[in-house]
Structure 1
């Protein structure tokens, strides 16, 4: 790699670096560069998210095997020990649910739940029950909210009972023998809502002799993200059972092309990072377009991919989809550093950093993207150094996850149908993907206006992002996935304008999902009242209010404020309760 302006970087004249000779070694890979659950990866990255999830799981399995083999170490001597339960106070229980609430069937399954009675006041006429919807992940992942998060905060303030209710098909609440197209046909919004209603109306909590079922007691339903939309839906669908609901980052608007997700990130990111991203993506798109024209420029695309360690990746769409990977970590930012991700910030720092440590002139560092002082020539390409930084980051953090014995096509290609057709119960990525393909959508695409600044490639369109639906879910004997998700099934429940008394809407100012919530730029504005709270957390990202600290005095001011306001409006709601 050499700068094109030797007067600016005289010391770099002799430096060369061939990206094509860089070795890719799986031992240097770190799955920590991939943030979030299966649903989070699929939310932002679609089919490439499935690939990364599989590589992440493979790496973790490999590391665990190496750990087990090292029995001579001080760690290895304890490998037979059962991991300590971080929440021993909360035992799992199961509630029997019908597989199908809308047709007669004898098939049932156990829906897992957990209960906290640490603040319960027996015999109180208006003892509230706070149920948190587990959403599109294992209910175990939600137990922190029962311990120190929003469920515990509200239960402590009101003498209530806290519950985590696992969503059908997720965690251990699995009603089927496999995840084939036919077996997944009962995984939909209506069935899940009916599960919750049946649970509230009939559950008998172990160790509690008092009848706490709805509508005899005030139940307040809470959810974040997808589960936030479900919380709002429950208040609308079952108002006789759900006395109140809190939708945090509730995505009540289902959509096909969810291009606004990345637009929020572009506008909220540190300006220099965002500008470098926009410039890098425009450069990459331009080179790929020239390469597809053929002629003497035909090899430019492969040269570009080679910088990223992806020269043999066949399809341009797969290449640019992998470049989205660090962007998806924005959603995992959190005010609590013990649970929040710093991957996006690390990526930005790497992107804007001058490639040579002795080059720190403000004239270069602060020059606009593409300025002559910033250009570097490598492998026949002349590009802003931010593109080379981007390439290095992708090589080290993501391409390095591809293990020895597998090609980059096998790791990051998405055109092989067979890699998405396993239906065993360990293929948990199929669950949220099925919901995406049938009812919810949210395919992350480039902006429809190609002149608009963007941080992902214009090649990422609806055709590419939705192809996995047909690949992963071929027609079954009893069910066929629609050509496009039936988003009307979701939006008919209220969409941006969903509203009811004792339904709170809480969102984050810079949440990439905000455009799909009632705080969207497309939604009408509302008043914030005690009966219908409508709150936006300054600088908040995804369901910020759901998290809490054991010592609430240590929470940042904006989190103390929202938690205090939530306690106020919930107490006001409970004053309206009439048994």
Structure 2
């Protein structure tokens, strides 16, 4: 007889955390794919139970919101297209007749990872304030909204901005909600379209592309500016981190780059980090870049946020005996480095190199020059999805600053050439589609770029969000007035789409988060006062075109 037991809390959390992070790489490069594999393996090993045992999971979260399905054409621009089921979830807990629909774009992850926002986050907050219906709409190809047999180059050719926008428009025009008799089509009901990050850009794009059905939109950390070299991502972190930590990073990278340039010391510095066997310097630079991705994982809610970046900073500042982090230590191999570099090396060995299994070499784990490592096409390889979008239309390759004299916290080995190489490795030409040599970022920027604007389009960003340089709050964008009709808000000390998260009672939230939520409730309510006028104008235009 088989034995049953509940999976350990630690194992369940590891699987859960990996599932949330699995759809999107911390940085769009080959090294992130290597780390994705290692973390996936580690999560699976932690959750492993004996062959004679069977895992019994707890009751699923958010069972109040069962998944539903909407039929979509795989190709909206073909008369003869197969279809797929696009998954969505609905909250009717606050809905009253005449209320709006608040739809959240699931973006580049499984929609299941967005259900939190239907329960206590921004969808619930706005639905409660407006007697609205809450909806999470999963993005094509992500989660279970997929109709292709694999993730080959050809199979991914329908994963693009135009098709995704058409999905949302078709859904908004034609969905019928179970248990609700009245017509909630976006042509007859005010829909507020919300998105964060990539989905934030989509929210802004939907308001511009489909103004007759998207009554209002909120772009939170919306990356409406696509770029090839996203070096400013790291510069936001350098400027916003605690000054001591920032200086340790700048010092460390300058020393490391200097040693990599000396042939007789190149192997010694890589060896200090436990990566002596790693042949290519850009692979080494990619590994030591990895801890910086945890800045984006910060959150105002301690139950959801990560403290890994702070732990990394603490590690860099540790003394070595009587030596403080800024003093030098002489090591084997002719190395003479600041203690903070020694600390950096130990952190990388403990947190990254240690994940490389005993039966694999360092090159197996962290090398990126073997194309075959990146050419699997199984549907479980979720990393292929967002990376494909990066390689075709969005860009965002994280590189060192173009000015070599500019202070930096990543190695100058990280160039557009080394970081974008993964595109040609992972997506060889198919019979029907070929990934361009560089992403066609014009497809994004032509929709408005930094200047994207419309009535009832709110722009909300975080002051210290590393993605801020790609939003309308970039220093490269013109400043704007913050108005009810075109809100333009910057949340103090906030990182990535902080307004998307919320508590059951917003009065329990930190002041700056409660404030932004109250402001969002206010401007959405003000927008809704214009609905009757907008609907009348729509109907008049419709009659005039008949």
User: Is 1:197 the counterpart of 2:184 in the alignment?
Assistant: no
- 2:61 paired residue number: 86
- What is the CA-CA distance between 1:61 and the residue it aligns to? 1.2
Once residues 35 and 362 of structure 2 are traced to their aligned partners in structure 1, the CA distance between those partners, rounded to angstroms, is 12
> For 1:324, what is the secondary structure of its paired residue?
helix
CA-to-aligned-CA distance 1:495-523 (integer Å, 9 cap, x gap): 00000000000000000000000000000
- 1:37 paired residue number: 21
- Residues 33, 398 of structure 1: 8 Å contact kept: no
* Number of equivalenced pairs: 520
Once residues 415 and 118 of structure 1 are traced to their aligned partners in structure 2, the CA distance between those partners, rounded to angstroms, is 52
- What is the CA-CA distance between 1:160 and the residue it aligns to? 0.1
From 263, 271, 280, the counterpart of 1:306 = 271
- Residues 465, 496 of structure 2: 8 Å contact kept: yes
- What is the CA-CA distance between 1:50 and the residue it aligns to? 0.8
- Residues 35, 328 of structure 1: 8 Å contact kept: no
- Residues 25, 383 of structure 2: 8 Å contact kept: no
- 2:38 paired residue number: 55
- What is the CA-CA distance between 1:38 and the residue it aligns to? 3.6
> For 1:230, what is the secondary structure of its paired residue?
helix
- 1:341 paired residue number: 306
- What is the CA-CA distance between 1:553 and the residue it aligns to? 2.0
Once residues 116 and 353 of structure 2 are traced to their aligned partners in structure 1, the CA distance between those partners, rounded to angstroms, is 33
- What is the CA-CA distance between 1:379 and the residue it aligns to? 3.5
- What is the CA-CA distance between 1:165 and the residue it aligns to? 0.1
TM-score, normalisation: structure 1 = 0.88
- 2:247 paired residue number: 275
CA pair 452-93 structure 1, distance change in 2 beyond 3 A: same
Structure 1 runs of 4+ with >4 Å offset: 30-36
Once residues 499 and 39 of structure 1 are traced to their aligned partners in structure 2, the CA distance between those partners, rounded to angstroms, is 30
CA-to-aligned-CA distance 1:384-411 (integer Å, 9 cap, x gap): 0000100000000000111120111111
- 1:120 paired residue number: 95
User: Is 1:542 the counterpart of 2:526 in the alignment?
Assistant: no
CA-to-aligned-CA distance 1:147-193 (integer Å, 9 cap, x gap): 00000000000000000000000000002110000000000001000
From 423, 440, 454, the counterpart of 1:486 = 440
User: Is 1:508 the counterpart of 2:480 in the alignment?
Assistant: no
CA pair 449-392 structure 1, distance change in 2 beyond 3 A: same
- What is the CA-CA distance between 1:40 and the residue it aligns to? 4.5
- Residues 499, 517 of structure 2: 8 Å contact kept: yes
1:67-146 equivalent positions in 2, closer than 5 A: 67-68=49-50, 79-122=54-97, 124=98, 127-146=99-118
From 361, 365, 370, the counterpart of 1:416 = 370
> For 2:261, what is the secondary structure of its paired residue?
helix
Once residues 419 and 199 of structure 1 are traced to their aligned partners in structure 2, the CA distance between those partners, rounded to angstroms, is 37
- Residues 138, 170 of structure 1: 8 Å contact kept: yes
- 2:331 paired residue number: 377
User: Is 1:169 the counterpart of 2:134 in the alignment?
Assistant: no
- What is the CA-CA distance between 1:343 and the residue it aligns to? 0.4
- Residues 47, 468 of structure 1: 8 Å contact kept: yes
1:21-36 equivalent positions in 2, closer than 5 A: none
CA-to-aligned-CA distance 1:258-284 (integer Å, 9 cap, x gap): 000000000000101110100100100
- 2:207 paired residue number: 235
- 1:527 paired residue number: 481
- Residues 440, 486 of structure 1: 8 Å contact kept: yes
**Residues 236-245 or 204-213, more deviating:** 204-213
1:131-530 equivalent positions in 2, closer than 5 A: 131-291=103-263, 297=264, 300-356=265-321, 359=322, 364=324, 369=326, 373-530=327-484
CA-to-aligned-CA distance 1:117-144 (integer Å, 9 cap, x gap): 000002x2xx100000000000000000
- 2:541 paired residue number: none
Once residues 241 and 176 of structure 2 are traced to their aligned partners in structure 1, the CA distance between those partners, rounded to angstroms, is 48
CA-to-aligned-CA distance 1:422-473 (integer Å, 9 cap, x gap): 0010111100010000000000000000000100000100000010100000
- What is the CA-CA distance between 1:378 and the residue it aligns to? 3.7
> For 2:44, what is the secondary structure of its paired residue?
helix
Unaligned runs of 5+ in 2: 1-13, 536-546
- What is the CA-CA distance between 1:32 and the residue it aligns to? 11
The structure, 1 or 2, with the larger RCO (C-alpha pairs under 8 Å, 6+ apart) is 1
- Residues 72, 167 of structure 2: 8 Å contact kept: yes
Once residues 200 and 261 of structure 1 are traced to their aligned partners in structure 2, the CA distance between those partners, rounded to angstroms, is 34
- Residues 33, 397 of structure 1: 8 Å contact kept: no
- What is the CA-CA distance between 1:80 and the residue it aligns to? 3.5
- Residues 294, 306 of structure 2: 8 Å contact kept: yes
- What is the CA-CA distance between 1:105 and the residue it aligns to? 1.8
- Residues 505, 534 of structure 1: 8 Å contact kept: yes
> For 1:559, what is the secondary structure of its paired residue?
helix
Once residues 415 and 425 of structure 2 are traced to their aligned partners in structure 1, the CA distance between those partners, rounded to angstroms, is 17
CA-to-aligned-CA distance 1:541-569 (integer Å, 9 cap, x gap): 00000000113222100000000000000
From 497, 507, 519, the counterpart of 1:553 = 507
